[in-house]
Structure 1
């Protein structure tokens, strides 16, 4: 058994894969550094075809017994899994922060509890899946949600632990077995997830983790012929590559992708609340796919609202994410920093007006100032492409028709935020904005029962409640002719 373990933020973490209930090393390894200060977090096992084959084989072997347990049989194991996450919440939060630079307080108080809920919620929801019957004059339609097989789950680096459980929860509750491909820029919290799953009593092979570079480990997994499902969260460009692999074997795929979401502020809105929420778009250094990055303000309140936003942003302290006072931490990786900085420099060169920020916040480090551009054309790159950093744009509109036109003027359709004081007006605007989720007078409130996903280039499919099981299950209808069975005597 491999034993390549390191101490990260005071927590022992394995750097090896988790396959078939044991740790598996690889000859090849890749470096992993903390975005906080560049410190070395260890050489992580880099999987490829051999590890992908091993993991899928282990998941296939474990599938029949796990599926046969039924939802009620899986429930106590998944409850222990969720409980184990909460028991180790402080450790998970510390490792996640060290690995991807996200705020420690946010991980401890929001992300890790939500991860535990992702497991327990779907385990409970699965209990009622097969209770659905549809009556017909001739037959009774008995709708069943059957396990589908092995699911490959590919997760992003901005919130790897929580977003992995968002997939793992319904996949396991449905009776599937899973192979997780963590992000190479932040793989460590998924390694902890494997330890917690094992301690909770998940049978060997039910949950597997294959680490590695996307072009190697990820490619081997999504092209494997023995998959039942592929679920991916990440960039639109990567999704196109995975989609081609899925199409070759007709493997169902879900994809939650990027966004360039509008944040619409009407003149009659609660401007103080709206301004604070705009400033909140810089959280996690803007590395949030749902962020409302295009601020759209009714022209009559532009000057007054801009000052409110400026005041709110002035309170957004940039610094070490382990400090409770910090609101904006580092970008994830030097390559990503260069990408964000490139967007900013091109916007400057193109004539966009820099309202604030626009520079590295800490010399030699991965911290970038909260940034706002105004005056860019609607079709300019800075208004069209996902930056995935602390960079927002400022636009104005004169009426609802213009607001809707600007909001829908990109290739994306993941989310949107609207602050408005009139319910009728708010609903008219919301109904016409192309988005999978539209928040009105709030932001980032996600009910696990509600559908979540993107439109256009922002994704395929929906997750949440029964919508998740619609994807992870083989849905069967057993249509029984009424009166075709003789009634049994007493």
Structure 2
């Protein structure tokens, strides 16, 4: 009998069509009404700026202007600090259990409005909705819940009997985790009885201003939280203000260094959480597939806009080829595109300026002889985008191995022995974080003792919890945020 001709396509050719993801967009309308212009939040009210200059915030995925907001002046900062100073007397006198009620209320409102806040964060920042919805917002609420629990237990925090608040805290936060960095700073400050003047980043002010609405909704006493928008000029006026008792800054190392010089010789308490160039170290006994997921999460989460990103991969020579093959296959599955699509893995770069920096440093990597690789992917025609990128043949002298790129770019180096891995991992001016991948618990402990980093993950990466302190050494700053340790920065001990 004649053999029937097989007219079906091979399964390998069908697979791509079978597993295509249909668009799953979140509605931008869920973000609620975005005003055409915003002033400051001072003394419990939204007020106009004393100046006429306005800045614009844009959607990084579309370059569409979302809103105008005020450029804070010295006079605006003066008003905000005065409001915080006036509120401090009554707020600090409240029993901790009463302050806790406000923090609990804020946490619950954040949970209730989490979809709205997650969408607004994605629109203003460019990060995927899957991250804002599943990572950022749950952590924001968790930090307020956690520090609400500490508010009436400060005597037992290990900082002596009857610790006192410092006064007015001036806080300056970055654009990579706008609402989460706000929570990291405001929650412990309020729990310990301080009042706050906060300046959000000039490219991502919208969720901070929406948080001001939440403060009003929670009935927080007027002046306890004040928000003044603007660029670096506003931040400099806030950190320099003579009636600010505590300065907390998260951002770039150059700006942190300038703030430290500015505050030298004053009695202000200072904490700095700055840049990083973390090593993600993979030994030959590590589970390759698990390590690959950790590497991808370490550098491509939030477009690489993470101070503790695992931007340097140190892989043991004997498994380099196997690991890189698996990593490239995994990178080829990453979806770059609309941040509001629930299938998106990598969203938009936050700004044109940041995109230009990433581009310049990757071009420097190629010029210095490193080999660049990116998976095939089509980038949108408008907005700020960058493909997930891998560099091999990187030496410790390359700029891409030493400078913080703050983008989805991974530099690969190799090592032979644990001692060599430690030496290469520590060969950086930064000391914020590191990752270790191995099946040997003794090696994890030995490495952790040798690595000069404030946060070290073992067989995982980018895991955060409000009960755990976070911070760095060397040019990554000083002081800790999160956990019991995060209280100390806001107490006179």
Alignment of 1:386 onto 2:394:
no
Aligned mates of 1:180, 1:11 — CA distance in 2: 23
Q: Judge conservation of contact 1:357–1:372 (CA < 8 Å) in 2.
A: no
Return 5+ residue gaps in structure 2 as ranges.
1-28
Q: How big is the shift at 1:250?
A: 2.5
Aligned mates of 1:154, 1:61 — CA distance in 2: 21
Q: Find the residue that maps to 1:91 and give its secondary structure.
A: helix
- 1:32 is matched with 57
Aligned mates of 1:359, 1:325 — CA distance in 2: 15
Aligned mates of 2:402, 2:260 — CA distance in 1: 23
Q: Judge conservation of contact 1:358–1:370 (CA < 8 Å) in 2.
A: no
- 1:139 is matched with none
Q: Find the residue that maps to 1:226 and give its secondary structure.
A: coil
Q: Deviations over 1:380-416 (max 9, x none)?
A: 1110000000111011100101100110000000000
Q: Deviations over 1:312-369 (max 9, x none)?
A: 1111111111111110111011111111000011111111111336999344531100
Match of 1:126 among 140, 151, 162: 151
Aligned mates of 1:414, 1:368 — CA distance in 2: 25
Alignment of 1:228 onto 2:240:
no
- 1:207 is matched with 225
Q: How big is the shift at 1:24?
A: 1.1
Q: How big is the shift at 1:190?
A: 0.1
- 2:139 is matched with 114
Q: How big is the shift at 1:8?
A: 8.7
Pairwise mapping of residues 290-439 of structure 1 onto structure 2 (< 5 A)? Answer: 290-356=308-374, 361-439=379-457
Alignment of 1:95 onto 2:138:
no
Q: How big is the shift at 1:76?
A: 1.1
Aligned mates of 2:296, 2:133 — CA distance in 1: 21
Aligned mates of 2:378, 2:60 — CA distance in 1: 14
Q: How big is the shift at 1:245?
A: 2.1
Return closer, same or farther for 1:366/1:129 CA change in 2, 3 Å cut-off.
Answer: same
Match of 1:15 among 26, 38, 63: 38
Q: Judge conservation of contact 1:279–1:316 (CA < 8 Å) in 2.
A: no
Q: Deviations over 1:214-260 (max 9, x none)?
A: 1x211110110001100000000000111122224221110111100
Q: Judge conservation of contact 2:30–2:116 (CA < 8 Å) in 1.
A: no
Q: How big is the shift at 1:440?
A: 0.2
**Cα RMSD after superposing both structures:** 1.8
Alignment of 1:152 onto 2:170:
yes
Q: Find the residue that maps to 2:226 and give its secondary structure.
A: strand
Q: Find the residue that maps to 2:300 and give its secondary structure.
A: helix
- 1:58 is matched with 83
Q: Find the residue that maps to 1:179 and give its secondary structure.
A: strand
Return 5+ residue gaps in structure 1 as ranges.
1-6, 135-141, 476-490
Aligned mates of 2:145, 2:366 — CA distance in 1: 48
Aligned mates of 2:249, 2:402 — CA distance in 1: 23
Aligned mates of 1:75, 1:218 — CA distance in 2: 29
Aligned mates of 1:357, 1:204 — CA distance in 2: 52
- 1:46 is matched with 71
**Length-normalised TM-score, structure 2:** 0.91
Q: Judge conservation of contact 1:171–1:472 (CA < 8 Å) in 2.
A: yes
Return closer, same or farther for 1:44/1:132 CA change in 2, 3 Å cut-off.
Answer: closer
Return closer, same or farther for 1:335/1:271 CA change in 2, 3 Å cut-off.
Answer: same
Q: Judge conservation of contact 2:34–2:67 (CA < 8 Å) in 1.
A: no
Aligned mates of 1:343, 1:457 — CA distance in 2: 20
- 2:12 is matched with none
- 1:483 is matched with none
Match of 1:260 among 272, 277, 297: 277
Aligned mates of 1:161, 1:128 — CA distance in 2: 26
420-429 vs 362-371, greater mean Cα deviation: 362-371
Q: How big is the shift at 1:447?
A: 2.8
**Length-normalised TM-score, structure 1:** 0.91
Q: Judge conservation of contact 1:360–1:367 (CA < 8 Å) in 2.
A: no
Q: Judge conservation of contact 1:358–1:371 (CA < 8 Å) in 2.
A: no
Number of aligned residue pairs: give it. Answer: 462
Q: Find the residue that maps to 1:372 and give its secondary structure.
A: strand
Q: How big is the shift at 1:145?
A: 1.6
Q: Find the residue that maps to 2:467 and give its secondary structure.
A: coil
Return closer, same or farther for 1:154/1:148 CA change in 2, 3 Å cut-off.
Answer: same
Aligned mates of 1:359, 1:241 — CA distance in 2: 40
